[in-house]
Amino acid sequence: MANENKNNSSYRVYIFVFFSLLLLALSFWVIWDDEFGLRPWKKYQGEYKALKHEQLDREYRKAVVEFQRSGGHKRLAELEARLEKAEAFFQSKENKEKFSQLTAEFDAVHQNVARNQKELQNARGQFLETEYYFTKTQKPEYKTKMDELQRQIDAISLRGSTLQKKEDALKSSLSALTAGTAGLRAEIAKMKSGLEEKLEKIANNDKVPVEIKQVHIKDIDKADRCQSCHIGIDGKRQVSRVQPFTRHPASFVYIDHHDPSKFGCTFCHRGQGRATTSVAKAHGKVKHFDEPMLDGDMTQTSCLNCHGDIKGLRGAEQIVNSTELIKKYGCYSCHKIPGYETVGDVGPVLTEVGTKVNYSWAVKWLLDPKKYFSTARMPKFFFTQDQAESIADYLFSMSGTTRHDVDYSGAEPDAKLVEQGKALWSQARCNLCHTTGGRGGNHIKVYAPDLSKVGSKVNKEWLFRWIKDPNAYFPGTKMPRFRFTDAEINSLVEYITSEYLDDEAEAKYAQPVEIKAASITKGKDLIQKYGCYGCHKLQGMEEMVQIAPSLKRQGVSFLRKDEMREKIGTELSSIGSKPLEMLDFGKLKKSIPNDRLSYLKQKLRDPRGYRLGLRMPDFRLSESEVNELSAVLYGFTDANVPVRFMVPSRQELDRMAGVTGYKFTGDFAKVIADVKCTNCHSIRGIGADYAPDLSIAGSKLQEGWIRNFLANPDVIRPLLQQMPKLGLSLGKPAAKITMPKFNLGKQNVEDTNKSDVDVVINFFQQELVTSDIPKEIPVITTMTLPDQINRGKMLYDNKGCRSCHQIGMDGGALGPNLSNVGNRLLPGYIFKHLENARKFKPDIVEPNYGFSERERIYLSNFLMTLKLNTK
């Protein structure tokens, strides 16, 4: 028994020892792991320090070499030799004795001065005390004591001043004695200081502590620690191009305007900013983390968090481009999206569509718009033939028409009219907006329909009415009213209906057929189900957009009550931060990655793929469009944004200030409503950025030139428009721009006797002026005008203006042609423009030469002489 016990216990001891050792080893591992294994940033910061040390060291050595190459070391050696000599001289017995004697004297006097100072303080203190007693008791003995003390004070201060003089004298003779060496020493220190500064930098770098670098945005309690590894992200200089040590790319946009110590990184980049234990965790690219880090162009989606208006925002080019897709396809028609509340209907008015198009065409179009035109924006709803006919029946019945087709393919056109129409077509530059068989359509953002098959779609009567007054059929259309005469319109209609025909068109209902009531009801139901009224104005469905009562926060802007509409589709205002578990992956759960971005992309690729019963139509987006659109949607978040980060849009600012936005008034408003200047031009923040901003046109352009230009619009800068803007812009090169010829001035504006051109000019001169721009060039009386012009010409030649600007046949074509600038621009504008070109056009490429005022006057006077002879 005892024996067995003993064996047993020794066996247990081994187990005990084994586990003890295991525990010990584990403890050490825990300590090691906590110090290093879970703190990879320590390694990175160490490496960064080493790299920076290397860089600084290299610079230091380079500076040393430079110093020696420039003979600095020789000069230093010389100075040192002189210093030595001077010191040796100073060390001579005579001097030394004198120095020590002077020093001793100085010390003695200095002590006396100090003692005297103390005495003075003491006496003053006593005086104050006595004065206090005197004022309190009014006893005469205090008065006598005060007088005595005052005498004492005077005596002491007198003594003090003599002592001080003596001290100063001694000091100056002492410094005279050491002046030679002191001057040399200062000079040597100055020579060395540049190098020493560099050494100090190295030492400072070595002293930088290795620690977690955390940014905390207090108002929203958001913290990130990205810069613990990305230690050089906001550095002034690139230390290494290797991650994580690099600087932020394009830091002059992103970092300079978003100080990382205030914004942190995750505010824009998302990711798991608190994580410091591994790269994958910090970047949020781990399972169950819903906000993976955004990189590259995807990061621009975060611009939408704070910037209410991203139009023209530097560094946001990609997202600006992508956002255009929302307007293009009219996502806001079915989905509630903040910022798009006031954008008009994306589709044309359908209230009288029966008087416009052929029935067969309507059915064909409803079945598959993209099949009819590859560029069609209307999506496919997967209607059956029967359903499509029902919808067409409803639309046609609402217009009070029957099923009918008009076929022009067999008709014999009037050749002369067609010829006239063709000339008019190119003269009016219809192709600027409308494509025909792949040609034209440079101004893509107005989304004008392709006209290559229009002759088989619409009837002549309608086309005539349309061209004569587009607003009458479709209030708010982008189509301008050209000032054509009825005869001109006739020729144009003849040309269009004979030239642009569809070979595949069929005219089944050449004989009109009555519409059945059952079909109309069915069509109405379908229209209501699929929400056609979202994009098109339909008779009897105007009130289908209901007003929702709640006032919910929407991204950066606050919606007013009347803007809150119940839309047919899911609200998209915070789709980019919708919790993953709220997204219905349905039957695709296993086949696509389980993240938000993949969900959005798949939804756009196959809108009805997740489950049965979905109503969203198929837009047949290209893969690049899918990527862009999903990126925008990803940016619609309900992210918590500190108010101080927000950059409200112009309208938002106006609303906050209680100002209603700029509105055109008077006759000019009528011209605008007709000619739609703001389709291309921007005036006081209204309109597009396709053509030059006209907000200060009245201070800029000469009346005569405007008249000429409106009569015969031509390009001002032929080359620039074909080039990408320098700098950050990544946009595609814009196509050559010309303005359509509206024939302004041929007719008078409604209800008035004024011609259009007079109205435009009047408006420009009354409204579009700024007090920043003087009317005239300041006059110099000391020099004759021809002299000034000569000087201006010399400046023009010397500063290399001709490398971009053209005068006559001479010069580059990057800037505007200046051959006729004296007729085009107002002198005061030229003068002001030369001072700071960016003031009026922020993204202009013209360099700022920093001309003096006189130089600007010379140049302006010279430029004003550049005039072409016009008849």
Partner 1 sequence: MKRLPEITDKVKKNLIWKSIFRRDYRNTIRDRAQAVFGNVFLHLHPVQVRESAVKLRFTWGMGGITFFAFIILVITGVVLMFYYHPSVDQAYTDIKDLEFQVPYGVILRNLHRWGAHFMVIVVMIHMFRVFMTGSYKAPRQFNWGIGVFLLVLTFLLSFTGYLTPWDQLGFWAITVGTNMGAATPFLGYQGPFSEFLHITPYNDIRFALLGGAQVGGNALLRSYIWHCVAIPLVSIILMFVHFWRVRKDGGISKPQK
Measured over the CA atoms of residue 815, residue 817, residue 821 and residue 823, the dihedral's sign is negative
CB nearer to partner 1: give 39 or 707: 39
Minimum distance of partner 1 from residue 277's CB (angstroms)? 6
For residue 383, how far is the Cα from the chain centroid? 42
Whether the CB-CB separation of 151 and 115 falls below 8 Å is answered with no
Tell the smallest beta-carbon distance from residue 30 to partner 1 (Å).
Answer: 5
For the CB of residue 33, give the shortest distance to partner 1 in the complex, in Å: 8
**Residues 390-449 within binding reach of partner 1 (CB under 8 A):** none
Cβ–Cβ < 8 Å for 789, 712: no
Q: Which of 171, 274, 746, 802 binds partner 1 (CB under 8 A)?
A: 274
Applying CB under 8 A, the span of 72-80, 268-276, 547-555, 816-824 interacting with partner 1 comes to 268-276
CA–CA separation, 61 and 53 (whole Å): 12
Q: Tell me: does residue 225 bind partner 1 (CB under 8 A).
A: yes
- The one segment of 185-193, 270-278, 395-403, 585-593 that binds partner 1 by CB under 8 A: 270-278
What's the CA gap between 207 and 758, in Å, rounded?
A: 73
Q: Which is nearer to partner 1, 40 or 774 (CB)?
A: 40
Task: Determine, following the binding rule CB under 8 A, whether residue 279 of this chain makes contact with partner 1.
Answer: no
CB of 275 to partner 1, least distance (A): 5
Q: Which of 265, 275, 325, 696 binds partner 1 (CB under 8 A)?
A: 275
Binding mask 285-324 for partner 1 (x = CB under 8 A): ---x------------------------------------
Give the Cα separation of 832 and 857 in Å (integer).
10
**Residue (of 214, 221, 251) closest to 234 by Cα position:** 251
Nearer to partner 1, 42 or 327 (CB): 42
- 584 is a contact residue toward partner 1 (CB under 8 A): no
CB 570 to partner 1: min, Å:
22
Amino acid at 235: G
Paired tokens of 815: 């800037």
Question: Which of 100, 162, 204, 277 contacts partner 1 by CB under 8 A?
Answer: 277
Nearer to partner 1, 222 or 700 (CB): 222
Report d(CA 376, CA 621) in Å as an integer. Answer: 11
Between 223 and 653, CB nearer to partner 1 = 223
Q: ∠ CA(229), CA(232), CA(233), 5° rounding?
A: 90
Q: Is 38 in the site for partner 1 (CB under 8 A)?
A: yes
578 lines the binding site for partner 1 (CB under 8 A): no
- Tell me which residue of 510, 511, 447 sits closest to 479, measured CA to CA: 447
Q: How far is CA 415 from CA 157, 496, 608, 785, in A?
A: 119, 12, 50, 59
Long-range contacts of 842-846 (CB under 8 A, 24+ apart): 842/312, 843/312, 843/314, 843/725, 843/727, 843/729, 845/720, 845/725, 845/726, 845/727, 845/814, 845/815, 846/804, 846/815
Q: How far apart (Å, rounded) are the C-alpha atoms in residues 357 and 536?
A: 15
* H or E, element range at 806: strand 806-807
Amino acid at 40: P
Under DSSP, the state recorded for 819 is T
To the nearest whole angstrom, how small is the minimum distance from the Cβ of residue 290 to partner 1? 10
The distance of closest approach from Cβ of residue 226 to partner 1 in the complex, given in angstroms and rounded to an integer, is: 12
CB of 668 to partner 1, least distance (A): 54
Stretch that binds partner 1, among 26-34, 253-261, 540-548, 623-631 (CB under 8 A): 26-34
With contacts defined by CB under 8 A, name the span among 29-37, 62-70, 402-410, 614-622 that binds partner 1. Answer: 29-37
**Closest separation in Å from C-beta 640 to partner 1:** 11
User: Minimum distance from CB of 266 to partner 1 (Å)?
Assistant: 12
Question: Does residue 581 touch partner 1 according to CB under 8 A?
Answer: yes
- Segment interacting with partner 1, rule: CB under 8 A, options 221-229, 375-383, 464-472, 570-578: 221-229
- The residues in 112-131 that bind partner 1, with binding defined as CB under 8 A, are none
Binding residues for partner 1 restricted to 331-390, rule: CB under 8 A: none
212 is an interface residue for partner 1 by CB under 8 A = yes
Q: Does 23 bind partner 1 (CB under 8 A)?
A: no
Provide the angle, in degrees to the nearest 10, between the axes of the packed helices 486-499 and 415-427.
100
* Whole-Å CA distances, 331 to 179, 374, 392, 599: 83, 19, 23, 17
Task: Give min distance, CB of 353 to partner 1, in A.
Answer: 50
Matching residue, tokens 């600095």 = 72
Nearest to 871 by CA among 802, 816, 829, 823: 823
For residue 81, state whether it binds partner 1 (rule: CB under 8 A): no
User: Does 30 participate in binding partner 1 (rule CB under 8 A)?
Assistant: yes
Select 529 or 589, whichever has its Cβ closest to partner 1: 589
- Name the residue nearer to partner 1 (CB basis): 224 or 756: 224
Q: Does 283 bind partner 1 (CB under 8 A)?
A: no
CA atoms of 666 and 763, how far apart (whole Å):
9
According to the binding rule CB under 8 A, does residue 457 interact with partner 1? Answer: no
User: How far apart are CB 388 and partner 1 at their closest, in Å?
Assistant: 45
- Minimum distance between the CB of residue 230 and partner 1, rounded to whole angstroms? 16
Distance CA 318, CA 253 (A): 14
Q: Does 503 bind partner 1 (CB under 8 A)?
A: no
The region of 269-277, 317-325, 555-563, 702-710 touching partner 1 under the rule CB under 8 A is 269-277
Residues 789, 865 contacting (CB under 8 angstroms): yes
Q: From the list 221, 503, 562, 714, which residue makes contact with partner 1 (rule: CB under 8 A)?
A: 221
Phi first, then psi: give them for residue 357, nearest 5 degrees.
-115, 165
Q: How many CB atoms lie within 10 A of CB 571?
A: 17
Q: What are phi and psi of 502, to 5 degrees?
A: -100, 120
Residue ranges of the alpha helices (H) in 592-659? 596-605, 623-635, 650-656
Query: With CB under 8 A as the contact rule, which of the stretches 100-108, 171-179, 220-228, 657-665 interacts with partner 1?
Result: 220-228
Restricting to residues 696-715, name those near partner 1 by CB under 8 A. Answer: none
**DSSP H or E run through 683:** strand 682-683
As beta bridge partners, residue 224 has: 215
Query: How many residues in the shown chain lie near partner 1 by CB under 8 A?
Result: 16
Q: Does 261 bind partner 1 (CB under 8 A)?
A: no
Q: Which is nearer to partner 1, 38 or 343 (CB)?
A: 38
C-beta of 573: minimal distance to partner 1 in Å? Answer: 23
Helix 93-137 with 72-91: angle, nearest 10 deg: 80
Strand partners, 683: 686
Give dist(CA 55, CA 198) in Å, integer. Answer: 11
Q: Is 266 in the site for partner 1 (CB under 8 A)?
A: no
Which residue of 7, 17, 34, 186 would you call a contact of partner 1, by CB under 8 A? 34
| CB of 528 closer than 8 Å to CB of 294 | no
Q: In this structure, what are the phi and psi dihedrals at residue 217, rounded to the nearest 5 degrees?
A: -90, 105
Stretch that binds partner 1, among 27-35, 142-150, 197-205, 236-244 (CB under 8 A): 27-35
Q: How far is the CB of 34 from partner 1 (least distance, A)?
A: 5
**Between 33 and 843, CB nearer to partner 1:** 33
Binding window for partner 1 (CB under 8 A); candidates: 33-41, 233-241, 547-555, 689-697 = 33-41
Nearer to partner 1, 293 or 706 (CB): 293
What residues line the site for partner 1 (CB under 8 A)? 30, 33-34, 38, 212, 221, 223, 225, 272, 274-277, 281, 288, 581
